[in-house]
Structure 1
Amino acid sequence: MIKSIFKFMFKGLVWLLGLLALALLAIFLYHRFQIAQESRLIQKPFGQLVEVDGKKLNVYTAGKGDKTLVFLSGLGTNSPVLDFKALYSRLEEDYRIVVVEPLGYGYSDDGDDDRSLDKQLSQTRKALKAAKISGPYVLVPHSIGGLEAIHWANRYPSEVEAIVGLDMTMPHTEVSDQERFTRSYQIVQLVRNLGLARLPIFFNDDNAPAIQSGALSEREQAIFKALFHRRSVTQAVMNEVKARDKNVATVNQEPVPQVPTLLFAAVQKGGGDTKLEEDFAAQNPQAQLVTLEGSHYIHDDQPEEIAKRIKDFLGK
């Protein structure tokens, strides 16, 4: 009797695993079909492709003005050009807007090279030079892009006129277990490659701040989603994930740049911990700290307020 029960359970498990395998295959084939269908949406980049170290990087420019604002994206932002649109669309009448999409992001090529701060900064500067965009620059980094901005201001101070941080990563940020952090991105990469991210439980409009900002047209929303499903965790992004702790350690050894700095710190309703931002600002008499309620993608949550404060800041 017990033997029969185990035999029945084993057959049931085999059937269940078989159905699961078929479901995964169906999702994967649908994902590949959608990738092919979406290819026509992203044939023409927003911006121009320039050659850097044998790869093509996308550089988007808009607007006009005496000051050049260079936006630096956060880790894994699949389409920096579209993600920053809610903010820069409110600034392009007064300033020259530049978004450099790093290796593995947006319309830029992917690659398997070093993602140290020196390498990232070198490629950003080469991309600007290739696009004939000269400094000095107002750097506008989001999240981990703040590490590159700080490194830039310390390595090439004559090129950095000011820094506007969008909930940017601070020096001495507590780095969680690097192995666990890398593993989490590897899981995300697998989920995306299998097409599981197309299931509503993994992705919908509610968890895409750039779409929720209302700044994107219907076509741009479709392009954003297409890039999400094919560019979110590229090899270059994965290499950047693996280099995160070393890049934080690099900035920890550097001084706080003594340039005009405007820091936006995102806090949840009821407040939040801004000690690192306060410490950073306290070491620079030209720094201002502004706390705003919203998510980590604060530039998508409160673009109007941030744009107004940037204009006031740069006007002074």
Structure 2
Amino acid sequence: MTPNASKTRKIWFVLLKIVAALVIFVLLCVATVFAVDGISSASEQKRLQPYGQHVTVDGKQMNVLLQGDGEDTIVLLPGYGNAAPGLDFQPLIDALATDYRVVVVEPFGYGLSDPTDAERSTENIVHEIHAAVHSLGIDRYTLMAHSISGLYSLDYVNRYPQEVTAFVGLDSSVPSLSEQQIEASDVAPIRWFRDLGFDRLQLKLSADPYEGLAYDEKVVEQLHIMMRRNMYNDTQLNEVVSMYSNFQTGQQQSFPVDLPVLFFLQANHPAVAEWIPEHEKQIANSERAEVVLLDANHYLYRSHPQEIAEGVRAFIKKPN
């Protein structure tokens, strides 16, 4: 063997050792993340404190939270990916419950509700939510929805016009501002990411969305547990895949002319300049509709619960 060949062989041997070491290091990191996630999840499950009550919908258990005993009812629906609506909405629930009976519905795959394999079409989601509300014996109510639930609510108020007395959107989605199409294959890597425990690491490295807000410390602790429990679950990932078609369906719908509609919107959307104009177009033909702008982010109910509650009271009290 020539000296050059021997030298080249040694270099390749060193490089292989480096690559092998890197592979082992990566595998050890993955194994560590996986193990920590499994141990932590088991520990957190023991510390999880149930809230609300279960109702049966299509043979599965859906969690609902009821608070307040007012004569009028508000049914509150969450935005996409909300880990625990019954806890996340707590400041707004407290602000509304002095005058209303507030019902928070946690759709399948959200909060303490069961997961489901049923297609996450608007039709199915609306059917499931209505079944939960109907099981409680509630037949007249204001429908209040955050984010994507505003899209589902557009279908809901047209299906059940004799039940919904008004609609309140909390920075709710508009069908004309559609999400991009996502295929089932696109979310497969997210499932691997979740199953290996990296979702926990992602949350650990992210800013706490509840820092500095008026949430009880124990509630925040439970919210963090629920975030780690429900993040990227299969039901919510399936909802992402159905989202584009749901927006397309929504573009064929509009609010009933005689339905009172109140929007609370962030005054300065960071990415969509048409956010306010498109909401205004959505209610252009409504007999009674208002838009309230708040200096807040998308989760405006977390930072401005009192302003929203006061606005709702004033709006609902006005004669049609």
TM-score w.r.t. length of structure 2 = 0.90
Query: Which one-letter code corresponds to 1:40 in the other structure?
Result: K
Work out whether 1:36 is the aligned partner of 2:42.
yes
Contact 1:172 1:252 in 2 (8 A): yes
Secondary structure in structure 2 of the residue aligned to 1:206: coil
- 1:313 and 1:245, CA in 2 relative to 1: closer, same or farther beyond 3 A? same
Q: Counterpart of 1:297?
A: 299
TM-score w.r.t. length of structure 1 = 0.91
Contact 2:178 2:244 in 1 (8 A): no
Q: Counterpart of 1:194?
A: 196
Superposed counterparts of 1:13-28, under 5 Å: 13-28=19-34
Work out whether 1:89 is the aligned partner of 2:94.
yes
Query: Which one-letter code corresponds to 1:97 in the other structure?
Result: V
Q: Counterpart of 2:51?
A: 46
Contact 2:108 2:235 in 1 (8 A): yes
1:126 to 126, 131, 134: 131
1:114 to 109, 119, 125: 119
CA distance in 2, matches of 1:269, 1:109: 33
Query: Which one-letter code corresponds to 2:253 in the other structure?
Result: E
Q: Counterpart of 1:235?
A: 234
CA distance in 1, matches of 2:235, 2:206: 26
CA distance in 2, matches of 1:37, 1:295: 33
Q: Counterpart of 1:141?
A: 145
Q: Deviations over 1:62-99 (max 9, x none)?
A: 00212111111111111111111121111101000001
CA distance in 2, matches of 1:205, 1:312: 38
Instruction: Give the Å deviation of 1:301.
Output: 2.2
Contact 1:105 1:232 in 2 (8 A): no
- 1:83 and 1:205, CA in 2 relative to 1: closer, same or farther beyond 3 A? farther
- 1:252 and 1:25, CA in 2 relative to 1: closer, same or farther beyond 3 A? same
- 1:146 and 1:191, CA in 2 relative to 1: closer, same or farther beyond 3 A? same
Q: Deviations over 1:100-134 (max 9, x none)?
A: 101111000111111111111111111122233x1
Considering only aligned residues, what root-mean-square deviation do their CA atoms show, in Å? 2.1
1:308 to 283, 288, 310: 310
CA distance in 1, matches of 2:25, 2:217: 36
Count of residues paired in the alignment: 309
Work out whether 1:68 is the aligned partner of 2:73.
yes
Q: Counterpart of 1:56?
A: 61
Instruction: Give the Å deviation of 1:205.
Output: 7.4
Contact 1:281 1:289 in 2 (8 A): no
Instruction: Give the Å deviation of 1:189.
Output: 4.2
Query: Which one-letter code corresponds to 1:176 in the other structure?
Result: Q
Superposed counterparts of 1:147-162, under 5 Å: 147-162=151-166
- 1:178 and 1:29, CA in 2 relative to 1: closer, same or farther beyond 3 A? same
CA distance in 1, matches of 2:21, 2:131: 56
Secondary structure in structure 2 of the residue aligned to 1:140: strand
Percent of pairs with identical residues = 31
Instruction: Give the Å deviation of 1:227.
Output: 1.1
Query: Which one-letter code corresponds to 2:10 in the other structure?
Result: S
CA distance in 2, matches of 1:27, 1:68: 45
CA distance in 2, matches of 1:120, 1:177: 19
CA distance in 2, matches of 1:2, 1:284: 79
Instruction: Give the Å deviation of 1:204.
Output: 5.8
Q: Counterpart of 1:206?
A: 207
Secondary structure in structure 1 of the residue aligned to 2:144: strand
Instruction: Give the Å deviation of 1:141.
Output: 0.5
Unaligned ranges ≥5, structure 2:
1-6
Query: Which one-letter code corresponds to 1:302 in the other structure?
Result: H
Q: Deviations over 1:203-242 (max 9, x none)?
A: 4673424x54222x22221211111111122221111111
Instruction: Give the Å deviation of 1:297.
Output: 0.9
Secondary structure in structure 1 of the residue aligned to 2:64: strand
In our comparison, the structure showing a higher alpha carbon Rg is 2
Q: Counterpart of 2:224?
A: 225
